[in-house]
Amino acid sequence: MRNPRVLNCTPELIINLGEIGIKSEAIDLPELEINSSTGGLAPIPSTYTRAIFKDGRIDLAVCSPKWESSLKKFNDLSTIEIKKMQNILQDKIYLISHPSFNKVKIEGTNTKMYDDSWRFQAKDRAIAFSAGIINNVIPIFRPDIIWLHDWMVGPVAPVAKAMGIKVVSTGHNPLFTELASFDEMVYKGIELRDSEDNQYTPSKYYYITKGKFDFMASEVNSSDDFTTVSNGYLQRILNGGFDNLAPQVMDAIKKKNKVKHPDGRPRVHGYPNPLKKDGSDLLDSIKLDGLEATILKRKHEGEEIRHSTGLKEGGILLNLTNRLSEHKNPRLQLETLMYFAEKYDLRYLINANGEQKYVDKALTTALESRGYAAYSKFDGNLEKRAIRTDNAYGLMTPNNEPCGGQNINYPAEGTLIIGHQIDGLIDSVHELNIEKSTGNGFPFKNNNKEGLEYGIVKMKEFAALEDKLRYNQLIRIAEETLKNNSSTARAKQLIEEVFLPLYEEKI
């Protein structure tokens, strides 16, 4: 039996072509980076892509918009080379071209693909991307299974299903959707009308809201398997915890949850995100240099961070959310910053992009903090350094969090999380118990000043421990994080619980 052919369709992708074995004499491709990210979605399909290629049981191709402005920014390529890229990407990556992808602005490391411009809305880009997949990639790659990420590829789902292709949908933030008229969809190249001979019937699968095509609800409704990025988030959806957000999408998810596969397998799954990197610099350093040298190196790096960012010497370093957006609740972090900084001798590093009102608030707070806080636009290298220092912690106060990134990745480097117990953080941040050597962080229940203070007090108790006792726990936590959240383990789970069983159903 041949391997199943899976087409991974994602609006966001970060990958070096050399990582998946693409080589070309025409362009020095191994270091060429496809980098289009506007939030937290990109690392997940990208990490899975690398791991599934490495696994070898799936014939995988990945499809993404051809964000030309991003390709120019992150690579030394001419416009002509970018235009000709597809013929050297073999059958592993398909980039969809459209005028709406050509000049999307880039701010920091983020491609602002969801921002409306004078000419194109986010919905226009979604329709263009979906039409490119349907009309160009599916006929060439001929997938057995198509894997879709979030609302932007919603139109692909009922079409693929009507063509006899199995559909897997991953909802990174499934409670957001868009609507479009059927005339607009058909006019722009997506055939949603049933054929006269009834051999092609997408109407069996799409979802109508207010007389229009509903992107995310149609994707969920069409899927053979629907996955979210944490079980905690999935349970909140199923329990009606988001009644004011996209009720039609929640309705589709709840209906999907009630129907099982013929063999009894569930159709709805909550799989936590994999690590961005299957490794730990903390563990590598201890193995190479020894514990004492590693601790000294991390203390020195912390001093350098404080000096280079303008933070006061000493204190415990807190890494705030790196996305200043409403659902992350940065207001709580910023409004309590000076109170906790002075009371508990904390240093706040605000290394973040986001909504302008919060960026302004973060900058003002840092400037008025007398060295207790420092602000910069998000810098990945600064983040990498900051979580590899001694007695540094991450602070997460979301009102909703499908999975999260800091809570998954930071503990592998010895930076533990003070986090609000909600959605994905329920699965990933557990109360640290030194005596039992269990847990990995400092969760708190009430997302307010009092709740946050509880988490900070617990963190301070841990931070006050003697170095070797602290690092015994950090080593254990890093090892458990690598074991439980590696991309290899997560890809294996997805392959064996979703892709291979679906392929067996198909054949």
Local confidence band at 113 (pLDDT 50, 70, 90 cut-offs): low
Identify the DSSP state of 103. Answer: S
The residue-averaged pLDDT of 252-263 equals: 95
| pLDDT recorded at residue 111 | 64
Contacting residues for 213 by C-beta, under 8 A, at least 6 apart: 155, 179, 180, 181, 182, 185, 192, 206, 207
Write out pLDDT tens, residues 266-302.
999 999 889 988 999 999 999 999 999 999 999 999 9
Q: Are 172 and 234 in contact (CB under 8 A)?
A: no
pTM for the full predicted model: 0.91
The residue-averaged pLDDT of 313-319 equals: 97
Query: Does the pLDDT of residue 26 top 60, yes or no?
Result: no
State whether residue 160 is helix, strand or coil. Answer: helix
Amino acid at 493: Q
Structure tokens given for 432: 């640290």
Smallest CA-to-CA distance from 73 within 43, 101, 34 is with: 34
| pLDDT recorded at residue 506 | 87
Identify the DSSP state of 23. Answer: -
End-to-end Cα separation, the chain, in angstroms: 10
Q: Where are the alpha helices (DSSP H) in 356-431?
A: 356-367, 380-386, 406-409, 424-428
Write out pLDDT tens, residues 416-436.
999 999 999 999 999 999 999
% of the chain surpassing 70 pLDDT:
95
Distance CA 250, CA 240 (A): 8
The residue-averaged pLDDT of 383-405 equals: 96
| Domains annotated on the chain, with CATH | 5-274+487-506 (3.40.50.2000), 281-484 (3.40.50.2000)
The residue-averaged pLDDT of 38-64 equals: 90
Q: Are 441 and 417 in contact (CB under 8 A)?
A: yes
| Angle in degrees, 0-180, between the axes of helices 467-485 and 281-289, rounded to the nearest 10 | 130
Write out pLDDT tens, residues 324-381.
999 999 999 999 999 999 999 999 999 998 899 999 999 999 999 999 999 999 998 9
Q: Which residue has the higher pLDDT, 36 or 496?
A: 496
Distance CA 157, CA 295 (A): 51
Distance CA 177, CA 173 (A): 9
Query: Does the pLDDT of residue 107 top 80, yes or no?
Result: no
Query: Does the pLDDT of residue 448 top 90, yes or no?
Result: yes
Q: Listing from the earlier edge strand, what are the strands of the sheet with 145-149?
A: 93-96, 59-65, 5-9, 145-149, 166-171, 225-228, 268-270
Query: Does the pLDDT of residue 109 top 70, yes or no?
Result: no
% of the chain surpassing 90 pLDDT:
76
